[in-house]
Amino acid sequence: MLSTAEALTTLLSAATPITGTESIPTLDALNRVLSADVVSPLDVPPMNTSSMDGYAIRTEDLTTDGNRRLPVSQRIPAGHAPEPLERGTAARIFTGATVPPGADAIVMQEQTEAAGNEVTILHSPASGEWITGQGADIRSGSIILPAGTRLTPQALGLAASVGCAELQVRRRAKVAVFFTGDELTMPGEPLKPGAIYNSNRFTLRGLLEKLGCDVTDYGIVPDKLDATRTTLREAAQAHDLILTCGGVSVGEEDHVKPAVEAEGRLSMWQIAMKPGKPLAFGAVRRAAQQADAAASDETFFIGLPGNPVSSFVTFLLFVRPFVLRLAGMQTVAPRALSLRADFTQNKADRRNEFLRARVNAAGGLDLFPNQSSAVLTSTVWGDGLIDNPPNHAISVGETVRFIPFSELLN
């Protein structure tokens, strides 16, 4: 069995970024991945601006003999072009407004006394005080968002701040997903003896959609080899990745592994981790008429285990970074924290364990009492996963590696 690090290296080394691109409105680009650098065509701010409501002055006009009363020569709201500041005068100015030529400082209104058309300055400002200089945030010609950036709300705001109405992004990853198991029943249908509701369909579709994938859901496929092969062939034609859930173990009713081997290839199967040992990776051949010189003749395949926690954890640790790499991102590893374990786990496992835990009020970690791969409750109760090395028991007070769900679900 491969270690989790070896398995992840195998997946990421195989992931070829999608080449297709499109230009879309910046307003519609949330969570998309840039295919080209965003270069600013202007300085931000494009002029010197005031950081405060107050008065723009020339510091040289504040005499040392006590005469600090200046006539107000103009009023400058944000969005209005000012006149040059007359010597010996002040300009009433508001936050974000353009500093008039000749002024070299802003005195905030709390440090002044206004009377009629005059203002008394009660503070001796330094040159440049409360002035945001042209280009203080962004310089014209600088790269503000490099290719490969996944666009967050603040990234969209940054692009808009330099006037970008459209952005060049990679097309969405196209993922086909299906589920195997004659015991699976959809919510809303009668639950027959021996059947269970298909929670994985809801979890995995939600995770794929959260990553911004275009998802084709083939639903529940019967536990038959020919049905599994037929679905694999169909799914391979127009998708970048086929994701399955269930049927990748070694039982007589587990047909996904032999089906993939018949329709393509498997380069990885079984990982030394808990939960999630039976995880498969490979590719499915595309029909010859569908392949062309610009496209691969294979569609990637990842098969997840059927237990709900196992499929959830393996998706977060392996499918997520694989899909992000397909989308063109280079940095796909989640950030981990070093936190204190407020529990003891005496039994060490020979595999790399991923334990569901949550942060308590004291800043330490509490462990969910039942770590079974069938207990989906733990994924809702928890804040993340403890990455516990093989053959390692955890003592109370020990520092452990904790990967928050906020990182893994991003």
Contact 400, 359 (CB under 8 A): no
- Characterize the bridge pairing of strands 174-180 and 241-245: parallel
Which CATH number fits the domain that encloses residue 74?
Answer: 2.170.190.11
Taking residues 211-236, report their average pLDDT: 95
pLDDT in tens, 17-49: 999 999 999 999 999 999 999 999 999 999 999
> Are 196 and 279 within one domain?
yes
> Are 199 and 284 within one domain?
yes
Cα(205)–Cα(315) distance, rounded to whole angstroms?
11
Taking residues 228-249, report their average pLDDT: 92
What does the pLDDT read at residue 205? Answer: 97
Residues 6+ apart with CB under 8 A from 133: 48
> Are 192 and 260 within one domain?
yes
The answer on pLDDT for 287 being more than 90 is no
pLDDT in tens, 337-348: 999 999 999 999
Taking residues 250-277, report their average pLDDT: 86
CA distances from 211 to 16, 170, 404 (A): 17, 13, 17
What does the pLDDT read at residue 11? Answer: 96
> Are 350 and 240 within one domain?
no
pLDDT in tens, 107-119: 999 999 999 999 9
Mean pLDDT of the chain: 94
- Higher pLDDT: 223 or 95? It is 95
pLDDT band at 63 (very low <50, low <70, confident <90, very high): confident
> Are 162 and 270 within one domain?
no
> Are 391 and 299 within one domain?
no
> Are 145 and 208 within one domain?
no
User: Of 91-100, 244-253, 279-288, which range is least confident?
Assistant: 244-253
DSSP 8-state code for residue 59: G
> Are 310 and 374 within one domain?
no
> Are 359 and 311 within one domain?
no
Cα(291)–Cα(249) distance, rounded to whole angstroms?
31
Omega prior to 82 cis, within 30 of 0 = no
DSSP 8-state code for residue 44: B
Q: Is residue 199 part of a domain?
A: yes
What does the pLDDT read at residue 223? Answer: 87
pLDDT band at 268 (very low <50, low <70, confident <90, very high): confident
Cα(323)–Cα(12) distance, rounded to whole angstroms?
9
What does the pLDDT read at residue 292? Answer: 44
Among the candidates 326, 361, 384, a domain finishes at: 326
Which CATH number fits the domain that encloses residue 30?
Answer: 3.90.105.10
The answer on pLDDT for 308 being more than 80 is yes
**CA 298 to chain CA centroid, nearest Å:** 27
Specify the residue for token string 């040059």: 84
Q: Is 282 exposed, middle or buried (0-12, 13-18, 19+ CB in 10 A)?
A: buried
pLDDT in tens, 327-339: 999 899 999 999 9
The alpha carbons of the chain give a radius of gyration, in whole angstroms, of 30
Which CATH number fits the domain that encloses residue 350?
Answer: 2.40.340.10
Number of domains composing the chain: 4
pLDDT in tens, 246-262: 877 655 557 888 999 99
Taking residues 355-362, report their average pLDDT: 98
What does the pLDDT read at residue 1? Answer: 86
What does the pLDDT read at residue 293? Answer: 39
Specify the residue for token string 């393509």: 264
Omega prior to 334 cis, within 30 of 0 = no
What does the pLDDT read at residue 358? Answer: 98
> Are 120 and 143 within one domain?
no
- Tell me which residue of 34, 40, 55, 26 sits closest to 137, measured CA to CA: 40
Q: Is residue 123 part of a domain?
A: yes
DSSP string covering 273-307: EES----EEEEEEPPGGG--TTS-SEEEEEEE-SS
Specify the residue for token string 């701010």: 45
Taking residues 280-285, report their average pLDDT: 96
The answer on pLDDT for 64 being more than 70 is no
Amino acid at 357: A
Q: Is residue 331 part of a domain?
A: no
pTM: 0.88
Range of the domain at 30: 21-44+137-170
> Are 236 and 315 within one domain?
yes
Q: Is residue 387 part of a domain?
A: yes
- Tell me which residue of 21, 43, 40, 41 sits closest to 32, measured CA to CA: 21
Q: State both tokens at 388.
A: 């516990």
Q: Is residue 92 part of a domain?
A: yes
CA distances from 384 to 108, 278, 335, 343, 357 (A): 47, 22, 12, 16, 6
